[in-house]
Structure 1
Amino acid sequence: MSHPLTRKTMRTLASILTCAALALSVCGTAAAQTARVSVVAAENFYGDVVRQLGGDHVQVTSILSNPDQDPHLFEASPKTARALQHAALVVYNGADYDPWMDKLLAASKNAKRTTIVAAQLVGKKSGDNPHLWYDPATMPAVAKAVTQYLGETDPAHKADYDARLQTFLASVKPIDDKVAALRSHYKDVPVTATEPVFGYMADAIGFEMRNQRFQLATMNDTEPSATDIAAFEKDLTERRVHVLIYNSQAADAMTRRMLKVAKDSRVPNISVTETLPAGKTFQQWMISQLDALSGALQGWQR
């Protein structure tokens, strides 16, 4: 025999249902808050910029992130392939800097995945200097493309993404200002480098960059000609250049040789890297290298 529900029982049941509904609502809200856009960046400087643009709404994995590793020696692993399989957005350099990305993406088809290639955004192709992140125009272009994607994919947070983009664009202005200041003082000053990592930034400053055949040979892992080596050493010993720029992540025997000649000839040198150092943002990294360059050129007189 069934018993009618008492008022007390009905109130208790109503309370339980209300609490349950509230709990589901809270869980739903929490789930919505923790559902982040999965992003894989081939290089950690692109990953850093995506984090700045996406904040808590993105989950970023950077593949090349060891500042002590020569990026040219990188080999993709199954772990890399798995990360790409689950990524909603992939950001990479292109222009043959990270050709393993094209192979991995081709082997890991995903119709819902979006790719942003920096080289395509700034009109660079195979055969061009691939160190695009040193071109002051590159990161703003990448940032705008990433923000457009995030706003379309996650419209609930579009206002936050747009605000973060404006903050980012304002934060790279000091880099442009530093480049302009260096250009005003050191345009046409002859400098040299062991490879063209810093090439776009050097162009923006307006340096006369010497020994470019030597640099290309180093970048392509080929032996510079005897003539190019002799010309490089002569520039250093006769102090025809005012600073030597070298890639500390790929310091081979020839690079060490040129550093010694520069030191013996009292030509200042500065180190640049291909990977974002730990604990720094992209902006801090660029400014610190420009500051080092400015310091190395302090004694120069026009």
Structure 2
Amino acid sequence: MRSLLFGAALLALGSVLAGPALAADKVKIVAAENFYGDLATQIGGDHVDVTSILSNPDDDPHLFESSPSTAKALSSAGIVVYNGADYDPWMDKLLSASTNADRKTIVAADLIGRKSGDNPHLWYDPKTLPAVAAALADELGKRDSANAQTYKANLASFDASFAALTKQAEALKAKYQGTPVTATEPVFGYMAEALGFKMLNYDFQVAIMNDTEPSPSQVAGFEKSLKDGSAKILFYNSQVSDETTKHLLQLARDNKVAVVGVTETEPAGKTIQTWFGGQLKEVGSALDGLTQ
């Protein structure tokens, strides 16, 4: 009886230990923003354990404050992915407070040559996500050579799906290049540039992004572009709802200017592909509606 009990105890202990051991085989990745987390999952598949810090689409990323749980996740991460260009400065502070010689950091801004002072919404630049995906596949292949071919195949699959989005954007550019548009913030700025749009009121947008008061002339110029029909689309950050945004949205609607909401984090239930594809489709529908 004692032998049986001892054997059962060993089996139980083995099952307890097996769980963490299996989990430890996965590469731990922490992404500052959930779209980089989604990308890490698409490249790593079943071989990675991904934690995204900014994951609630209803939260304003600019108001984020780090917590002990964030620091704990970073301390055990093998790979950390973040935006850079002053979008997530709290990441630098957390990483410097939690040294780990084995940790690899992938910074999107560094990969595409962006720096402090540039528009930090880099994920809307068509170059960014493919560059981060390639860096992830390379690092995962180094850490887990047994599955390197899987990571390469996943990268090829992502690149193919992203190429379809690029083609969708190119079709819009061919049809609507030069269209004047405006925005409450420069969230969609890089994509608007890729679509060939002429962006109005950029200084106003930067002021709002930096939580400073736009000048009276900037406000007047923005309102004029909506009232006289200069701007054909108003892009707005749907994660930020303040009196200025509400006023401009109403002004746009009153003057028959198309309104398109964009987000800074990936909406729940979406992938990068469906998120971007949906926004491009909405842009096309808005412009098609203006020409009918």
- Please state how far the C-alpha of 1:241 moved relative to its aligned partner: 1.1
CA distance in 2: counterparts of 1:95 and 1:208, whole angstroms: 24
- 1:122-156 superposed Cα distances (whole Å, 9 cap, x missing partner): 00000000000001110000000000000000001
Deviations 1:152-197 (A, max 9, x none): 0000111111111111100111110111011101111101000100
Give the AA of the match of 1:140. Answer: P
Looking at structure 1, the residues matched to 94 and 24 of structure 2 have their Cα atoms a distance apart, in angstroms, of 28
Paired position in structure 2 for 1:191: 181
Report which of the two structures shows the higher radius of gyration computed on alpha carbons.
Answer: 1
Post-superposition shift, 1:32? 5.7
Give the Cα–Cα distance (whole angstroms) in 1 for the partners of residues 69 and 247 of structure 2. 37
Q: Distance in 1 between matches of 2:185 and 2:128?
A: 20
Q: Deviations over 1:82-103 (max 9, x none)?
A: 0000000000000000000000
TM-score normalised over the length of structure 1: 0.89
SS in 2 for 1:103: helix
The secondary structure found in structure 2 opposite 1:280 is coil
Question: Do structure 1's residue 84 and structure 2's residue 37 form an aligned pair?
Answer: no
Q: CA deviation at 1:33?
A: 7.9
Give the TM-score normalised by structure 2: 0.92
- Establish whether residue 113 from structure 1 lines up as the match of residue 103 from structure 2: yes
Structure 1 position 151 matched with structure 2 position 141: yes
CA distance in 2, matches of 1:232, 1:94: 29
Residue 5 of structure 1 aligns with which residue?
none
AA partner of residue 173 (structure 2): R
Aligned to 1:271: 261
Partners of 1:194 and 1:73 in 2: CA distance: 17
Q: Measure how far apart 1:34 and its partner are.
A: 6.2
Of 213, 238, 248, the residue aligned with 2:238 is 248
Offset of 1:279 from its aligned partner? 0.6
Alignment of 1:96-107 (within 5 A): 96-107=86-97
> Which one-letter code corresponds to 1:121 in the other structure?
L
In 2: Cα distance, 1:175 partner to 1:256 partner: 31
- Which residue of structure 2 lines up, in the alignment, with residue 132 of structure 1? 122
| Aligned partner letter, 1:90 | V
Which residue of 159, 176, 181 maps to 2:166?
A: 176
1:174-253 to structure 2, matched below 5 A, reads: 174-253=164-243
Runs of 4+ displaced beyond 2 Å: 30-34, 299-302
Aligned identity (percent) is: 57
Equivalent residue for 1:46? 36
For 2:247 and 2:290, locate their aligned partners in 1 and report how far apart those are by CA, in whole Å: 24
**Residue in 1 that maps onto 2:58:** 68
Could you tell me how far 1:299 is from its partner in structure 2?
3.1
Deviation per CA, 1:46-79: give whole Å up to 9, x if none.
Answer: 0000000001100000000000000000000000
Deviates more, 1:157-166 or 1:292-301: 292-301
